[in-house]
């Protein structure tokens, strides 16, 4: 049985999808979307499946970089995220499908590439999700995904988490450390891939990037209101969302200065 926390951590609904696309995509997802699309562009791909596509940051890059002959199916568990991705659209046609990574609605060996940008951290049973990715892959196909490194290597996320400890000292919201930044240990990832049936040795690339926002307030809104951290803050007290956001903005400004802010990002790219 899933816990209230796990359900909250995977719920992207209400105003979150729009804010996610407006604030979070350019701030933290765009650099890695370009990186993943470039990596896939060096491989022979004819049918590609994207899991946990969100609002389509990676999908748009894939549609722009990969040849028009490559078919792309983009899926997500959260229909509101997928609806927004579809409404934004892509350079060329993409098939959008509502799908659960734990039970992919596709036949065996349907794709020669499966890709997931910052989604596997949210899967309740990662070996099962990996087994599903392996099932739909053709022999010789590639499974490629990205995960955030530990929170200490991602400066805005670390700063926001510390700020919320001052707002809710008795039970601080820990979504960012608990979920997006909790699945970074490479031996653990390798073991989960083996449990999912992969036999090759995964290749890990650690990629640093910069997260930029036009103000500390924008960075704070991105994390506090455009992610499921919002669900956790509102579960504590829905009337204190603005207070929590302001506390995060003040802490970011204290660490990174006023005006435009710039912090470190770091992630692992895994290919097998």
List, for residues 153-163, the tens digit of each pLDDT value.
999 999 999 99
Q: Are 204 and 212 in contact (CB under 8 A)?
A: no
Domains of the chain: 4-271 (3.40.50.150)
Distance separating alpha carbons of residues 185 and 229, to the nearest angstrom: 22
Summarised one tens digit per residue, pLDDT across range 223-255 is: 999 999 999 999 999 999 999 999 999 999 999
Q: What is the pLDDT of residues 39-84, one digit of tens each?
A: 999 999 999 999 999 999 999 999 999 999 999 999 999 999 999 9
Q: Are 70 and 44 in contact (CB under 8 A)?
A: no
Q: State the DSSP string of 29-96.
A: IHHHHHHHHHHHHTS--SEEEEES-TTSHHHHHHHHHS-TTSEEEEEES-HHHHHHHHHH--SS--EE
pLDDT score of 4 more than 70: no
Average pLDDT in the chain: 96
Nearest to 10 by CA among 228, 259, 180: 228
Among residues 63, 260, 64, the alpha carbon closest in space to that of 74 is found at 63
- Which residue in 4, 270, 5 sits closest to 144, CA to CA? 270
Distance CA 259, CA 268 (A): 30
């Amino acid at each position: 049985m899933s816990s209230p926390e796990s359900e909250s951590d995977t719920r992207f609904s209400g105003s979150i999808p729009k804010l996610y696309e407006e604030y979070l995509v350019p701030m933290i997802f765009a650099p890695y979307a370009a990186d993943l699309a470039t990596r896939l562009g060096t491989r022979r791909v004819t049918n590609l499946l994207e899991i946990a596509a969100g609002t389509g940051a990676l999908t748009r890059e894939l549609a722009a970089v990969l040849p028009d002959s490559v078919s792309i199916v983009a899926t997500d568990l959260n229909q509101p995220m997928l609806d927004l991705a579809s409404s934004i659209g892509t350079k060329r046609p993409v098939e959008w499908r509502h799908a659960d990574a734990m039970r992919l609605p596709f036949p065996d060996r349907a794709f020669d590439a499966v890709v997931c940008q910052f989604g596997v951290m949210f899967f309740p049973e990662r070996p099962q999700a990996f087994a599903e990715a392996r099932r739909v892959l053709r022999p010789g196909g590639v499974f490629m995904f990205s995960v955030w490194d530990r929170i200490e290597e991602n400066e805005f996320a670390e700063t926001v988490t510390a700020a919320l400890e001052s707002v809710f000292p008795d039970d601080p919201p820990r979504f960012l450390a608990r979920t997006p930044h909790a699945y970074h240990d490479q031996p653990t990832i390798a073991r989960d891939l083996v449990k999912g049936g992969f036999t090759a040795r995964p290749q890990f690339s650690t990629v640093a990037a910069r997260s930029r926002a036009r103000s500390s307030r924008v960075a704070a809104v991105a994390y506090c209101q455009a992610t499921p951290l919002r669900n956790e803050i509102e579960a504590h007290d829905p009337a204190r969302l603005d207070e929590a956001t302001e506390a995060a903005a003040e802490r970011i400004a204290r660490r990174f200065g006023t005006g435009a802010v710039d912090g470190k990002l770091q992630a692992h790219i895994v290919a097998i």
